[in-house]
Homo-oligomer: A and B are copies of this chain.
Amino acid sequence: MKNLILASTSTLHGQEYLEYLTPVLNSHFSDCNEILFIPYARPGGITHDEYTQSAQKAFEKIGLAVKGIHQFDSPSEAIKKAEGIFTGGGNTFLLVQQLYHFDLLQLLQEVLKTGIPYLGTSAGTNIAGLTMKTTNDMPIVYPPSFKTLGMVPFNINPHYLDPDPDSTHKGETRETRIREFHQFNTPPVVGLREGSWLEVKGNNIKLKGEPLARIFEAGLEAYEVEPETLLNDLA
């Protein structure tokens, strides 16, 4: 009985951290007193403690405590005992490297399958897909594998960005990059625009939030889906 919120971004322009998600998180984590925060994606600028504090500040509003996984002696024990888990954004290469380093990937998979409520934002959402091969991040470290949690039967591209028709820049558009992914990989990709999230409850995967999502399947034209669409058959 999976129970996940997989958000494109933690923060919308002009808003506080997690602000737009607060009502959703209030019910998502209603059975919890304390959330385990995984700050591993954060590549610097602020410490893991400071990053955890921003999560604490956001969850305080709905009466929940937050503790960072780095504050535990054993990260795996922390995951085993967690009432709810939140993995924040940053760099997906770093997050995945750290999860392998602490040997947490399989454990996280097992725990999430038991129904422990999970929130991912950005990199924390990326790792819920089959692989991290549709991340937008820079490969600043070399993880031992690109394989991730596979909590949904497809890949996710957070912060999905439509092409700018006025651009004169010759870098690839996001759509081109995902098409390139499909030259070598078969899983569908959900392009999650900022303000969208996937709600995973058991076998139901539903698009939530205001924006449409853009779906890429190997060999097909990309297409848009409306909020409240079930993506259960996308595999």
- Contact-residue size bin, chain A (C-beta under 8 Å from the other chain): 35 or more
A51 at the interface (CB under 8 A from B): no
A132 at the interface (CB under 8 A from B): yes
Known A-B contacts A44-B183, A183-B44; A170 and B12 likewise in contact (beta carbons under 8 Å):
yes
A194 at the interface (CB under 8 A from B): yes
Q: Which residues of B contact A136 (CB under 8 A)?
A: 138, 171
Tell me if B171 and A161 are in contact (CB < 8 A). yes
Known A-B contacts A139-B133, A142-B145, A145-B142; A170 and B159 likewise in contact (beta carbons under 8 Å):
yes
A146 at the interface (CB under 8 A from B): yes
Q: Chain A interface (Cβ within 8 Å of chain B)?
A: 9-14, 43-45, 91, 93-94, 132-142, 145-146, 159, 161, 168-172, 177-181, 183-185, 194
Q: Give 9 closest A-B pairs by Cβ, nearest first.
A: A44-B183, A13-B168, A43-B180, A159-B171, A138-B177, A140-B181, A9-B170, A43-B183, A142-B146
